[in-house]
Amino acid sequence: TPTKAELISATLTPEEIAKKMGATSLGFLSIEGLKESLGNDRNYSLVSFDGVYFAGGNAQGPGCAGSC
């Protein structure tokens, strides 16, 4: 798993990323936009994007109250 510093979006703007890729533009979906595009009738795990687990936990683990 890469560190945050290794992720391209952590160090470059969308315009810089587009230029690096040779694209004319680049856009990102919001989490709500992603949910809408997938269909709200499905129960996808978005923990990689929002840190929220299904069981009411957080990015440290299901059911963790921040002291794990």
Quick: pLDDT tens for 51-65: 887 665 555 555 555
* Count of structural domains within the chain: 1
Owning domain of residue 28: 4-50
Q: How many angstroms separate the CA atoms of 65 and 18, rounded?
A: 39
Indicate whether 57 belongs to any domain. Answer: no
The mean pLDDT of the chain is: 80
Please say if the pLDDT value at position 33 is more than 60.
yes
Indicate whether 66 belongs to any domain. Answer: no
Indicate whether 63 belongs to any domain. Answer: no
Mean pLDDT of all residues in 27-38: 89
Indicate whether 55 belongs to any domain. Answer: no
Indicate whether 59 belongs to any domain. Answer: no
Residue with tokens 């989490």: 31
Helix boundaries (H) for 3-46: 8-11, 14-21, 31-38
Q: How many angstroms separate the CA atoms of 24 and 9, rounded?
A: 17
Indicate whether 11 belongs to any domain. Answer: yes
